[in-house]
Every structure is written in structure tokens, then in C-alpha cells.
Amino acid sequence: MTDTLRVLLCTSEAVPFAKTGGLADVSGALPRALAGQGCDVGLMMPAYRSVPRDDLEAVAAVRVPVGPQTHEGRILRGVMPGTTIPVYFVEHPAFFDRPGLYGEGGRDYPDNLERFAFFCRAAVEYIRQAPRRPEIIHCNDWQTALIPVYLTTTHRDLGPIGTLFTIHNLAYQGLFPAEQFGMLGLPPDLYGIDALEYWGQVSLLKGGLRFADLLTTVSERYAEEIQTEEFGCGLEGVLRHRRDRLIGILNGVDYGAWDPAHDPHIPARYSAEDVSAKARCKEHLQREQRLARDPRAPLIGMVTRLADQKGLDLVAAVIEDVMARGAQFVLLGTGDPKYHQLFTRLRGRYRRQMAVTLSFDDSLAHRIEAGADMFLMPSRYEPSGLNQLYSLRYGTVPIVRRTGGLADSITDCTSETLAAGTATGFVFTPYTPDALRQALERALSAFADPAMWRRLQQAGMRADFSWARSAARYVEAYRGAREMLSVSLGTPR
Ligand code: ADP
């Protein structure tokens, strides 16, 4: 063992190649931060349609059985832009050359189990051939959860490779009908409640939770929450059983991509030293979103997947009051058709005060961060949350629910925290329209007091959530996983 850790991060999405949510930001930024910590790091992900093919080199062919069929795939090697970090794309056009990553039109692809079983098995098959094996494989969410299972069962001969499994969102479990278990090529006894069975279905996520050497999740608060019935999605028992192997590490921010001082997507640049150009960003946003061009109207932004998790029912319940207070609301989001309908309907009622864009638009996400005064995240649960961290840097004061990473990163504005200079946002606790309404009310009153608002903005803009600190904690965890390799292989932990 050398002191330079060789780490392979396996993920189903990564910026700048493919993104549906926060996992892509993390997978794009963490490898750079790990390289900065002296790790020898590589990234592995599917070769989706959105991955540019120029400059990729085929480095291996893999033959992977999935069910009765053997699939042929290739490993294409590229690099993370602007770095020498290798990226290994698993290519199999029938599985990955599609318009979506996991589905289309709000519906999952029916062959997702085969697609991601293929991806996981291709990853371990490639490791067999690779000139240098990683010491640690860092897996993320259900799409990569089979890797620790294969490594400790069918692919034990690869020798000890430490695995760390990160839960980015416990609610997405990769659940499939029991009949599909046979496709995975695993010993039949792994379809049992101590391994991959979850109430009569196959849970890929559970495989990761049982078989990885170490588990992490994306905030300390969420690490505690998921051990309870309320947040555990039925897996709280499994997580409590492994709590000595579970740690929370808050996601960081890639300030190379998210900083108003040098953001190419926004119309004017600004920083904590001189925030004045933020007003131009607001004016630009009001113009492009066809809102009334009023610098004094508080502008509330929201950029989110439109999913039940995100507290959109609360937003709908309070929107009338918010509009009555003369505020403006800009939403960018895509997801569940029921929310597409809901916000299209609401927008029809408040044309000059409300703008709704129902698509995925990274550049607009940046302009909303810069142009809004406040950023709304009333999530039912939020493992880490990134947008509240981006908002801090953009001087856009977050209004959040006290859960997961939101609770760990935003300090509620009270007379004490304001006096101490630590207040960064508005936090509410019960998941009710009333509690959200009160938080909004407090935020709108603070906005009417420019000196107070400036204090809040300054505290947020100066906060540091860069990746370096979180990456150092991952390195510590990898070292821990490497040390655990002597632990017996082949049984669920
Ligand atoms: P989650 O991972 O649950 O989606 P996060 O707050 O951790 O939530 O990360 C969401 C990321 O996805 C942020 O970078 C956010 O800006 C981005 N995002 C979400 N929806 C959209 C959209 N419709 N257009 C552009 N970016 C989006």
C-alpha cells in the first residue's frame, strides 16, 4: 500500500457530461477536490447520448452477462475538462444512447435494472483488465449499488478492493420486481431479507447498504434522520444495524462554476466586496422572465426537480399570500407532470408577478441565483441540498425547512444571530403552510430593512462551503475503508 490512494468514483451522472440533479454536481466536483488532496482519482459513468465523443479513446472491450444474454460494451477513456483526471465511459448504445438518463416523460425506462446491472458489472469487468486496480471504489446511489455486491461475491477473485457507498437520496431505491433478480447473476440466496430483498421486491440500494465497507450520506443531519422511521424509507433498520459504518459529509460547492464574481452565465458580476451589480442581474431576470421591472419588489427564486420531496404543495398553499404582499416568484423546474400542471395553472393567474419555466436549463439556473433576492427550499426532506449553498454565495437569502443539509448549512435569522453576524437565512420547522408563511413573512420584513438585508447577504456570501474540507473527510473515510479490507469478504455486513 502506498500513501497515494487510488480511488475510482462510479456514478450515474456527472457535470459536465450528464445531469438531472445534485449527484451530477457532486460527481463532477469531488474528483477535482480529491486530486487536490493528492488522490489518484478516476471517474466511471455510462456513455449517455449527451457525452461528447470527440477525444475519447477506446481502452477496453467488456462482455457482460445480464440474464440470459451477454452484452458487449466498450470502455471509452476521456478526461475531466481542464484536468488530467481520467473518465471511463461505459458504452453500450442499446442501453445508454437514449434521450434520458433514467427515463422519459416522467416515466422510468422499463429496463433500468438491466441497464444499471450492466453498468456495474462492466465496471468490475474493466477493473479485472485495468493496468492498475483502484484500492477504493466510491459508489453513489442505487445505480452503482451492485458494485460492492459483485466485488464481495461473484468477483471476489479480484482481491480486496475497499468500497464506500454514498446515499444521495434514500428515497430512490432502485426497486424492481422479484422476477428480475435472476438477471443480476448473483447467488440465489442473496434474494433474502439480509441482502437484496425488500418486501417482495429487489432493492439494489439495499445491496449497497449491506455490502459496502463504509456508508456515507451527504449531511450529518441526514445521517441521523435516515435511521428513523420518518426518513428511513423502510431501511432504517438496515441503517441502524450499520450505524458504526455510517457517516455524514456535507456536499461542497464548486466555486469554479458557482460564484457571481466570475460566472459567465450572468449579465453582471459581483462579490461580497461590491454587491451593486446584483441589481442589474435582478433587472435582467425580471426582463427576461417578463415580470414587472420593479427593483423594490422582493423576488423569490426556486430551481428544483419537481418532486414531492421538494415541498411544492406548501409553495402552492402560500403563493396567494406571497403575491398579495407584492413579491415576485420565478420557478425553474422539471419532473412530475402534476406539478407541471399546477404551476402552469398558477402562473396563468399572476402573469406579471410569476414566471414558470418547465425545463432543465443550467444557464437560467445561474441567472435565477444571481437575480433573485431570496431562494426558496421548503423541502419535506433534503439530504444535502446544493442550491441553498449556491444562494449564499450569490447573496440570495435562503428560506429553508429545518431538515437534512438545509438544517446543517443555514443559520436562522434571530436578533441574536443577526447581532453575532452568523444569520444567513430563514429557517422553519413544521411541514405546514403556516410555518412557511411565517418564515416568508419574516424574510419579506427583513428585505424591507436594507441594512439588515445587507448583513444577511454579507454573512452568506462570506461563508465557505468549498469542497476542500469535505474532500478531506472523504479521504479519511477511504483510508478507513482501506484499513477494513481484512474484514471477512463474501457476507453481507
Ligand atoms: P437534488 O439532488 O435533490 O435534485 P440538489 O439541491 O442537491 O437537489 O441539487 C439540484 C441541482 O440540480 C442544482 O445544481 C440545481 O441547480 C440543479 N437543477 C435542478 N433542476 C434544474 C432545472 N430544471 N434546470 C437547471 N438546473 C436544475
- Convert the pLDDT of each residue in 398-409 to its tens digit: 999 999 999 999
Domain assignment present for 435: yes
Beta-sheet pairing, 175-177 with 201-203: antiparallel
State residue 492's pLDDT score: 63
Report how far residue 211's alpha carbon sits from residue 194's, in angstroms, rounded to the nearest whole number.
10
Rounded to an integer, what is the distance from CA 3 to the centroid of its chain? 29
Q: Is the CB of 386 under 6 A from ligand 1?
A: yes
Report how far residue 252's alpha carbon sits from residue 241's, in angstroms, rounded to the nearest whole number.
28
Q: Is the CB of 332 under 6 A from ligand 1?
A: yes
Q: Is the CB of 362 under 6 A from ligand 1?
A: yes
Q: Ligand 1 centroid to 450 CA: how many Å?
A: 30
Q: Are residues 78 and 115 in the same domain?
A: yes
Domain assignment present for 258: no
Q: Is the CB of 368 under 6 A from ligand 1?
A: no
Q: Is the CB of 304 under 6 A from ligand 1?
A: yes
Cell of 339: 406539478
Enclosing domain of residue 410: 278-463
Q: Are residues 112 and 144 in the same domain?
A: yes
Whether residue 486 is predicted with pLDDT greater than 70 in this model: the reply is: no
Q: Is the CB of 385 under 6 A from ligand 1?
A: yes
Report how far residue 301's alpha carbon sits from residue 355's, in angstroms, rounded to the nearest whole number.
10
Q: pLDDT by residue (tens digit) across 20-40?
A: 989 999 999 999 999 999 999
Q: Ligand 1 centroid to 152 CA: how many Å?
A: 34
In terms of Cα–Cα distance, which of 396, 352, 347 is closest to 376?
396
Q: What is the reported pTM?
A: 0.94
* Percent of the chain at pLDDT exceeding 70: 98
Q: Is the CB of 305 under 6 A from ligand 1?
A: yes
Q: Ligand 1 centroid to 308 CA: how many Å?
A: 14
The set of residues, in sequence order, having a beta carbon less than 8 Å from that of 346 and lying 6+ positions away, is 316, 319, 354, 356
Q: Are residues 122 and 98 in the same domain?
A: yes
Write down the mean pLDDT value for the chain: 96
State residue 1's pLDDT score: 46
Q: pLDDT by residue (tens digit) across 433-461?
A: 999 999 999 999 999 999 999 999 999 99
Residue closest by Cα to atom 22 of ligand 1? 360
Domain assignment present for 102: yes
Domain assignment present for 125: yes
Domain assignment present for 201: yes
Q: Is the CB of 398 under 6 A from ligand 1?
A: no
Q: Ligand 1 centroid to 493 CA: how many Å?
A: 33
Domain assignment present for 476: yes
Q: Is the CB of 449 under 6 A from ligand 1?
A: no
Q: Are residues 398 and 476 in the same domain?
A: no
Beta bridge partners of 260: none
State residue 3's pLDDT score: 76
Domain assignment present for 264: no
Query: Would you put residue 154 in left (φ > 0), alpha (ψ -120 to 50) or beta?
Result: alpha
Q: Ligand 1 centroid to 393 CA: how many Å?
A: 16
Report how far residue 20's alpha carbon sits from residue 35's, in angstroms, rounded to the nearest whole number.
25
Q: What is the CATH number of the domain that holds 100?
A: 3.40.50.2000
Q: Are residues 302 and 329 in the same domain?
A: yes
Question: How many domains are there within the chain?
Answer: 2
Banded pLDDT at 484 (limits 50, 70, 90): confident
Q: Which atom of ligand 1 is nearest to the CA of 334?
A: 23
Q: Are residues 223 and 293 in the same domain?
A: no
Q: Are residues 393 and 455 in the same domain?
A: yes
- Using CB atoms within 10 Å of the CB of residue 214, give its burial: 0 to 12 exposed, 13 to 18 middle, 19+ buried: buried
Q: Ligand 1 centroid to 24 CA: how many Å?
A: 9
In terms of Cα–Cα distance, which of 395, 391, 396, 378 is closest to 439?
378
Long-range contacts, stretch 66-71, CB < 8 angstroms, 24+ apart: 66/114, 66/117, 66/118, 66/121, 66/183, 66/184, 66/185, 67/114, 67/182, 67/183, 67/185, 71/95, 71/118
Q: Are residues 438 and 298 in the same domain?
A: yes
In terms of Cα–Cα distance, which of 29, 161, 22, 104 is closest to 485?
161
Q: Are residues 145 and 233 in the same domain?
A: yes
Domain assignment present for 142: yes
Other beta carbons within 10 angstroms of residue 393's beta carbon come to 25
Q: Which atom of ligand 1 is nearest to the CA of 357?
A: 23
Q: Are residues 209 and 326 in the same domain?
A: no
Q: Are residues 176 and 315 in the same domain?
A: no
Q: Are residues 89 and 151 in the same domain?
A: yes
